[in-house]
Chains A and B, each alone.
Chain A
Amino acid sequence: MKRAGRILWWATFIAGALIVQQSIPGIDALTPGFLLSLQERRPRQSFWLFVFFVLIQEGSGSLAFGSALLWYGGQAVLFHVSLRYFVADSLLFVLMLSAALGAYHGFLVWFMCIVQKAPVYFFTLTRESLLQATIIPLIWGLAFFSRPKNSFRTV
Chain B
Amino acid sequence: MKDQCAAYWRDYLALIDVAEENERLRDDLRRARNYANLVAEDRAELERLRKLLQLEALHERPAFAARVIAWRFGPQAAHNTFTVNKGYLDGAIVGTPVVTNSGVVGRVLRAAPHAATVLMLTDPGFRLAVVSQQSRTPGIVTGSSGEARRLELAYVAQNAQIVPGEVLITSGLDGAFPKGVPVGIVTSVTPGNESLFLQVHAQPLIDHERLEEVLMLRRTGSGPPLLDPLPDPSEMFPPQPPSENGQEPAPSTDGEPAVAQHNGTTRQNAPDADGAFGRSGP
Contacts and interface: CB of A to CB of B under 8 A. Distances in A.
A118 B75 contact: no
A60 B78 contact: no
B253 interface: no
Q: What are the nearest 4 A-B pairs in CB distance?
A: A61-B76, A28-B75, A25-B72, A60-B73
6 contacts: A27-B74, A58-B76, A60-B70, A61-B76, A112-B78, A118-B125
Contact of A62 (B76, B112, B124, B146): B76
Given A21-B74, A56-B74, 11 more contacts: A27-B75, A28-B74, A58-B76, A62-B79, A62-B81, A62-B110, A109-B76, A109-B78, A118-B125, A119-B124, A124-B145
A62 B75 contact: no
Interface string A93-127: 00000000000010001001100001101011100
B202 interface: no
Contacts of B71: 22, 25
- Size category of the B interface is 20 to 34
B109 interface: yes
Contacts of B77: 25-26, 60-63
Contacts of B145: 119, 121, 123-124
B68 to A, nearest CB: 13
A62 B78 contact: yes
A23 to B, nearest CB: 10
- Size category of the A interface is 20 to 34
A28 B75 CA distance: 5
Interface class of chain A by DSSP: helix
B209 to A, nearest CB: 11
Interface in B44-96: 70-79, 81, 83
B76 A57 contact: yes
- Which of B71, B73, B75, B117 gathers most chain A CB within 10 Å? B75
B167 to A, nearest CB: 26
Interface of B: 70-79, 81, 83, 109-110, 112, 117, 119, 124-125, 145-146
A71 B76 contact: yes
Contacts of B76: 57-58, 60-63, 67-68, 71, 109
A22 B109 CA distance: 20
Interface in A16-43: 21-22, 25-28
A125 B79 CA distance: 10
A132 B76 CA distance: 12
Contacts of B112: 59
Nearest to A71: B75
A118 B78 contact: yes
A61 B70 contact: no
Contacts of A28: 74-75
